[in-house]
Structure 1
Amino acid sequence: MSVATPYFDQLFAGNDDPWAFRQRWYERRKRALTLAVLTRPRYASIFEPGCANGELSAELAPRCDRLLCCDTASAAVTLAEKRLLGFAHAQVQQSRLPQQWPAGPFDLIVLSELCYYLDIDDLNTLIDRALASLADDGQLLACHWRPAIEGCPQTADEVHALLQKRLDMAHLARHHETDFLLDLWGRDGASVATREGLR
């Protein structure tokens, strides 16, 4: 069974940064690596489900023309809205995924620290909906904490293995460490050098 919304509501009760996204060097470094693996300087439309308090969202916003974020916890949505106040092209909504997946199309979908909270059926549904809403040359980024999390139905390794199997897209970037997995897939397999005419 997927982790239910009250679990996340409780995490945000009286705490505006339950994973210490702002304080921990681990989190700041991981965000920098996440942004660094993106092969384009700018995207027309980015979707970030499970945005939490909007720390990664605020760094994705300058890289796109439209940013849509969502979270299942109402407190997280409020915090992310405040974090993104300076970005008129950014929108945050409360949604439970995969059931309330937006229409798209999206040039980039960012699945950061989200998928291991879903059981296998919900994760497969999420992948189906991501594929259906991804633009013809769209990309999907996944980043997940690697150690097992109590109460989560899946691990990062299981999630990324399923994504690799199901996406049927070129693997554009891969950064794996003891602590986390970071992968980028794209329907257009062109490298950065190829895009800039260097190859």
Structure 2
Amino acid sequence: MVDLHQEFQSSGFFHEARIDRRSADALVGVAAGLAADGKINQQEAEFLKTWIETHLVHLSDPVVNILYKRLAEMLSDGVLDSDESVELLGMLHQFAGLPVGSIQTFTAPNALPFDNPFPTLSWTDRVFLFTGVMAYGPRKECELRVTERGGLIGGAVSKKIHYLVVGSIGNDQWLHSTYGTKIKKAVELRGSGIPIAIISEDHWQKVLFG
């Protein structure tokens, strides 16, 4: 699915980013299939690593990078131990947007991009940006709760943003193929050393209500 030899660069139908995205979309199905029986073994983990290396050579997607980097760390000693197996299973369910033991029903947003552990939140002069559907209510109401506490609201993902808050209401738009350009940009900035935190609405609400 990746144009390794760049044979189609001159074609008007070729677009490397689109090919990478199709491969990333296919990875959702691979992840769901491997996790369907509720366990991941050594052979499946090695297959997944090889699949990503083969089909996503460019690894331009930051969320795929998070998954791949951790998978490579798990297999660096040649053994997938029981704790790593459980962790990988959870990551695959998160990546595919699936509850454990099911490949049919979509659940909460992909949690892979979130800061782990979640950071301590400050309000005064901190810049917040919201994305997704908020369980708390309309985005304007969420923004008001921030400004009431001395925080600021950003207009777009940039180096000026301190916190990107991801809405907790899951829907089919949160499948990996459309998890959102805001999150992708934030992950890229965070990876380059910019201190932007990606947090869940649940964490935001816990701090909000103390």
Shared fold (TM-score, shorter chain, > 0.5): no
Question: Hey, which of these two has a bigger chunk of helix by percent?
Answer: 2
Instruction: Find the structure with the greater CA-based Rg.
Output: 2
Question: Hey, which of these two has a bigger chunk of strand by percent?
Answer: 1
